[in-house]
Amino acid sequence: MGSAALYHLAARGRRALGLEAFTPLHDRGSSHGESRIIRQAYFEDPAYVPLLLRAYELWSALEQTAGADLLRITGGLMLGAPNSQIFQGSVHSAKRYGLRHEILDAVDVRRRYPALHPDPADMALYEPGAGILFPDQCIRAHLSAAAAAGAEARFEEPVLSWAPTAGGVTVTTAKGRYQAERLVIAAGPWAGAVLRDLNLPLRVERQVLHWFAPGAAGAPFAPERLPIYVWEHGDGTMFYGFPALGEGQVKVAFHHGGETTEPETVRRTVDRSETEAMQLHVGRYLPLLAGAPPVKSTTCLYTNTPDDNFVIGFHPAHPQVSIAAGFSGHGFKFCAVVGEVMADLACNGETRHPTAHFSPLRFTQA
Ligand SMILES: Cc1cc2nc3c(=O)[nH]c(=O)nc-3n(C[C@H](O)[C@H](O)[C@H](O)COP(=O)(O)OP(=O)(O)OC[C@H]3O[C@@H](n4cnc5c(N)ncnc54)[C@H](O)[C@@H]3O)c2cc1C
């Protein structure tokens, strides 16, 4: 979110400085791990669809600007029981916004995508426009486009504090002190600390990603044959995965259900029991992966709000400060449009994008 905001500010001719605690593309926050799902028939809430449509435009524009491939369209399957939030919600969004889609039953799914074994009663919405963003490339593209537009980015320079002044803000880092007219705070899982004054109800959640190598059984996992999928099981568990990328490795993960943690103290190693639990799970729903060796696993952080909606808007007490936080495990696909929104707020004091339901005021005005 920070690199996107930096780019959009610089592209408008503003003098913009990005301050990052770690190195570019580090793995201690929320934006690493090879791949992110992008989709439009948003089961969470149709209110996100206009932002998604703009995000697709901006990702595509950034591909041109940066001369890099940032996403791969594979199609996407939203799978679950007929009354599940995933199925119902994605159908609702698709119909409301006239998004291209198909409805499939479990037999269709098994026939078209032999890697997947849904329960007999499961239904799926297939959307042809869904796919995979490559987060490292996306961040690199925003940073290089920002630099080309005149922005400066400083790494390994943690912000220690910030304070409002008469004309703007003062930001103090481990290396210096800066004055600015506006401040954009996009601190990911550290947002609670950087915005301590607001006491936002953010919960940082540890998530684990697993990669398996199907080897000779891998053909049905090729990206030409398997779309991305998000799958809600009968007990409400959410599970998602990708076709095989790179060296034929298949990435799968649970969505939520992780332990509450903090970025400084999170367990960054993955226990054998966690890998075994995932092996059991894929054995049932993607049986071709049953014997596939786990090849790697890693952890990543969600920063959840109580309603799982983002926190985007002005700091309630200091309008020269704007906030992009609480992306609740589904923010990456929006980075490009969030960058535009943050530049709107900082430069114009308003945005044309529908962000009212992300207001920080919903938590600070009890
Ligand atoms: C396992 C996993 C899977 C996901 N899958 C998807 C998906 O498929 N699709 C999707 O859309 N989203 C997905 N997400 C969510 C998405 O990745 C996040 O919502 C998004 O990356 C959040 O970006 P951010 O910029 O808010 O946070 P971050 O990427 O963590 O960036 C915050 C930055 O602020 C810096 N920072 C913090 N404090 C300071 C300070 N004091 N001084 C200087 N710098 C500071 C940090 O170092 C960090 O670089 C997933 C997340 C995870 C963890």
Closest CA to 70 of 24, 149, 139: 139
**Predicted local confidence at residue 262, as pLDDT:** 98
Residues 6+ apart with CB under 8 A from 174: 157, 158, 160
Average pLDDT of the chain? 97
Q: Give the model confidence (pLDDT) of 43-94 as tens digits.
A: 999 999 999 999 999 999 999 999 999 999 999 999 999 999 999 999 999 9
How far apart CA 92 and CA 226 sit, in angstroms, is: 24
Residue 128 C-beta-side C-alpha neighbours within 13 Å: 4
> Residue 314: enclosing H or E segment and its boundaries?
strand 311-314
User: For residues 75 and 364, which has the higher predicted lDDT (pLDDT)?
Assistant: 75
**Predicted local confidence at residue 246, as pLDDT:** 86
Residue nearest to atom 13 of ligand 1 (CA): 330
Cα→Cα distances 221→78, 213, 277, Å: 17, 10, 21
| Site of tokens 């592209």 | 11
| Ligand 1 geometric centre to CA of 83 (Å) | 31
Does 314 contact ligand 1 (Cβ within 6 A)?
Answer: no
- Overall average pLDDT of the 344-358 stretch: 97
Residue 47 C-beta-side C-alpha neighbours within 13 Å: 10
Residue nearest to atom 34 of ligand 1 (CA): 187
| Ligand 1 geometric centre to CA of 30 (Å) | 3
Cα→Cα distances 344→20, 50, 79, 263, Å: 21, 16, 36, 29
**Predicted local confidence at residue 365, as pLDDT:** 78
Residue 27 C-beta-side C-alpha neighbours within 13 Å: 11
Q: Give the model confidence (pLDDT) of 1-36 as tens digits.
A: 999 999 999 999 999 999 999 999 999 999 998 999
Does 255 contact ligand 1 (Cβ within 6 A)?
Answer: no
Position 366 confidence tier, pLDDT thresholds 50, 70, 90: low
Does 31 contact ligand 1 (Cβ within 6 A)?
Answer: yes
| Ligand 1 geometric centre to CA of 301 (Å) | 7
Q: What are phi and psi of 33, to 5 degrees?
A: 110, 25
Check if the beta carbon of residue 341 is closer than 8 Å to that of residue 351: yes
| Ligand 1 geometric centre to CA of 187 (Å) | 8
- What is the DSSP track for 188-242? GGGHHHHTGGG----EEEEEEEEEE--GGGGGGGSTTT--EEEEE-TTS-EEEE-
Reading the block at residue 77, the tokens are: 């399957």
Q: Is it the case that residue 164 has pLDDT exceeding 70?
A: yes
Residues 6+ apart with CB under 8 A from 95: none
| Site of tokens 């049932």 | 284
Residues 326, 331, 337, 340, Cα dihedral to 10°: 30
Alpha helices in the chain (DSSP H): 2-11, 49-66, 85-96, 106-112, 135-148, 191-194, 272-285, 335-348, 361-364
Residue nearest to atom 41 of ligand 1 (CA): 159
Does 138 contact ligand 1 (Cβ within 6 A)?
Answer: no
| Ligand 1 geometric centre to CA of 105 (Å) | 35
- What is the DSSP track for 324-355? EE--TT--GGGHHHHHHHHHHHHHHS--SS--
How far apart CA 366 and CA 347 sit, in angstroms, is: 29
Does 191 contact ligand 1 (Cβ within 6 A)?
Answer: no
Reading the block at residue 202, the tokens are: 């953010």
Counting ligand 1 atoms within 8 A of each CB, the residue from 7, 31, 322, 338 with the most, and so the one to mutate, is 31
Reading the block at residue 7, the tokens are: 């780019």
Counting ligand 1 atoms within 8 A of each CB, the residue from 17, 298, 332 with the most, and so the one to mutate, is 332
Ligand 1, closest atom to CA 36? 8
